[in-house]
Amino acid sequence: MYIMKPFFNRIGSKRDIVDKLIQLIPEHKIYVEPFIGGGAVFWRMETKNKKVIINDIDKQLIEGYRLLKKNDDNKLIIPPTIEEKQQLVNRKARDDNERLTQILLLSCNTFGSQGKYKIYKNTAHIQKIKKINEYSNKLKNTTILNQDFKKVIKKYDSKDTFFFLDPPYEKSIDTLYDNYFIDYKELVLILSNIKGFFMLTINDSPNIRNLFKKFNIVPIIVKQKSNSELGGSGDRRELIIMNYEF
């Protein structure tokens, strides 16, 4: 079976710890990912027979997911050279397929997968294009939203809901995410009052440990297999925070 990897890349992917995270997810009927990004956990997880909601504040990324959901067996045509990829990204898209190709290239072939600026890698995405139907099918029963995470948590919270939350790290806010501001204190307050389960992944820092101290905190070391262009290489300390025991 094809193991689904993120279709769109995003800084801060959970690719390297996805198996560990999935093992810690409790039974639930409604799966909600308010900060989907590339969605490493969503793509890998079995979501059949569940109500699934994915969300991100990034307009272009969500446009990409919506086009991928609509795609009906149309294989995307990826130009062979970096120069031709750049030309494709620079022009006005002629149809939905071309726009989807542009977003794929912007999210995967730019420096640090920032979704903008110059095409710098020549990746051809052969596997993803071959399996595009599997990607579209998984999205067919998925609700795709482009809102602030707070609205999504409020709307979909219930005793049957599981939230997987992967917000930007503390230090990344100014530099990597167009100044999207996450008020972690407010996030703690919201999570203290939900009916459902949540699991959150975040960088390890004294401030975060203190803010989330009433929850179950599991420190982990993430061995970085993937060669990250931003943030350098080497192991990373992270926290998995849950409102349940495992």
Ligand X SMILES: C[S@@+](CC[C@H](N)C(=O)[O-])C[C@H]1O[C@@H](n2cnc3c(N)ncnc32)[C@H](O)[C@@H]1O
- Residue from 57, 190, 194, 220 that binds ligand X (CB under 6 A)? 57
**Contact window for ligand X (CB under 6 A) among 12-20, 44-52, 98-106, 227-235:** 12-20
User: Judged by CB under 6 A, does residue 56 bind ligand X?
Assistant: yes
Q: Give the x/- contact pattern for ligand X in 149-178, rule: CB under 6 A.
A: x----------------xxx--------x-
By beta carbon distance, the residue nearest ligand X is 37
User: Judged by CB under 6 A, does residue 64 bind ligand X?
Assistant: no
**Minimum gap (Å) between residue 34 Cβ and ligand X:** 6
Interactions with ligand X, residue window 133-152 (CB under 6 A): 148-149
Angle among Cα 9, 7, 3 to the nearest 5 degrees reads: 115
User: What six digits make up the tokens of 63?
Assistant: 């446009």
- Residue from 4, 14, 119, 188 that binds ligand X (CB under 6 A)? 14
- CA–CA dist 87, 179 (Å, integer): 28
**Hunting for tokens 């596997």 — which residue is that?**
127
By the 8 A CB rule, do 22 and 119 touch?
Answer: no
Phi (first) and psi of residue 120, to 5 degrees: -130, -10
**Minimum gap (Å) between residue 142 Cβ and ligand X:** 15
Phi (first) and psi of residue 115, to 5 degrees: 80, 10
DSSP, collapsed to helix, strand or coil, labels residue 31 as strand
State which amino acid sits at residue 116: K
**Minimum gap (Å) between residue 10 Cβ and ligand X:** 4
- CA–CA dist 114, 4 (Å, integer): 21
Q: Smaller CB distance to ligand X: residue 74 or 212?
A: 212
* End-to-end Cα, the chain, rounded Å: 29
User: Judged by CB under 6 A, does residue 180 bind ligand X?
Assistant: yes
By the 8 A CB rule, do 73 and 97 touch?
Answer: no
- Residue from 39, 101, 132, 239 that binds ligand X (CB under 6 A)? 39
Judged by the rule CB under 6 A, the positions of this chain that interact with ligand X are 6, 10, 12-14, 34-35, 37-40, 55-58, 148-149, 166-168, 177, 180, 182
